Amino acid sequence: MLLAAGRGERMRPLTDTTPKPLLAVRGRSLLQWHVDALAAAGFRDFVINTAWLGEQIPAHFGPEPRSSEGLPLSVRYSWEGLDFGGALETAGGIVRALPLLGDIFWVVAGDVYAPGFPFSVQAAQRFARSDKLAHLWLVPNPPHHPEGDFGLSPDPAATDRQLALNQAARKYTYSTIGLYRREFFARPWCGIPPGNSSGVKAPLGPMLRAAMDNQGVSAELYTGPWTDVGTPERLAQLNETARP
């Protein structure tokens, strides 16, 4: 599932006319970077949630979606804007799209740039064999988020590096890339009815923390290129580095 419903207030005025995930980095939209990487790794069935200027996203992919390399794709949409007048936040949006998703699925934010991220089948298979509800990729804290989000267990011998809510643990930033199980978006972790027909808005963070308290989340550190493209300045910097 690709998250593409947000308004992108901090990216204005760019997002006044273009949804944030369609802003271009190095000649390719942020959303297209993810689609191309996932498709190349063998993942070609996509669900994209939309809200702000959401009609532009299916127009971008067209009636016969393909990756930049020409690989055929299946793309379905969860129309939060049309159905409820706006975005449902991360957990609300995922539960709304749940009928379109499988038992295990990637969740990727459409506003981050991670050109070398390894969307591997092996990672999905390892997660499927585990007993975890979610597996997250963390990144070193960027300058705009120095306090981080979650701490990793200090035990390097652990098969799955458990996320620790120990305040003394070194914190890292959630990359907004992860693998999830369908059952995570049901009770006791999530109180929204399947399909979210009422359009409940709900964040993901509290659910993750509750699951972490019950050893239900694993994580690993990713140190490759990663940018939260949250401001016009960061977008300009990415595009500036692409020049000869």
For 181, phi and psi rounded to 5 degrees? -100, 145
**Which DSSP letter does residue 14 get?**
G
Question: Which run of H or of E encompasses 236?
Answer: helix 232-240
**Mean pLDDT over the full length of the chain:** 90
- Mean pLDDT of the 191-201 span: 94
Query: What pLDDT was estimated at residue 155?
Result: 56
Secondary structure (3-state) at 78: strand
Q: What is the pLDDT of residue 242?
A: 55
pLDDT over 90, % of the chain: 75
What is the structure's pLDDT at 14? Answer: 85
Average pLDDT of the segment spanning 174-195: 95
More confident residue, 14 or 24: 24
Answer whether residue 97 shows pLDDT above 80. yes
Total count of residues recorded for the chain: 244
- Contact between 217 and 134 (Cβ < 8 Å): yes
- 148-164 pLDDT, tens digit each: 998 887 655 555 666 65
Q: Nearest-CA neighbor of 185 among 83, 81, 100, 77?
A: 100
- What local confidence, expressed as pLDDT, does residue 163 receive? 67
pTM of full prediction above 0.85: yes
Q: Which of 120-134, 168-182, 192-206 has the lowest mean pLDDT?
A: 168-182
Q: What is the pLDDT of residue 244?
A: 40
| Contact assessment for residue 184 and residue 218, using Cβ atoms and an 8 Å cutoff | no
CA distance 150 to 111: 20
Reply yes or no on whether the pLDDT at 230 is more than 90: no
Lowest mean pLDDT among 3-17, 32-46, 74-88: 3-17
Tell me what pLDDT residue 161 has. Answer: 61
Model confidence over 22-42: pLDDT tens digits? 999 999 999 999 999 999 999
Domains and CATH numbers, the chain: 2-140+174-240 (3.90.550.10)
Q: Which residues are bridge partners to 79 per DSSP? A: 50
Distance between first and last Cα of the chain:
34
Rounded to whole angstroms, the Cα distance separating 24 from 235 reads: 8
Closest by Cα among 123, 91, 104, 103 to 222: 123
Measured CA distances, 45 to 6, 57, 69, 74 (Å): 22, 16, 16, 5
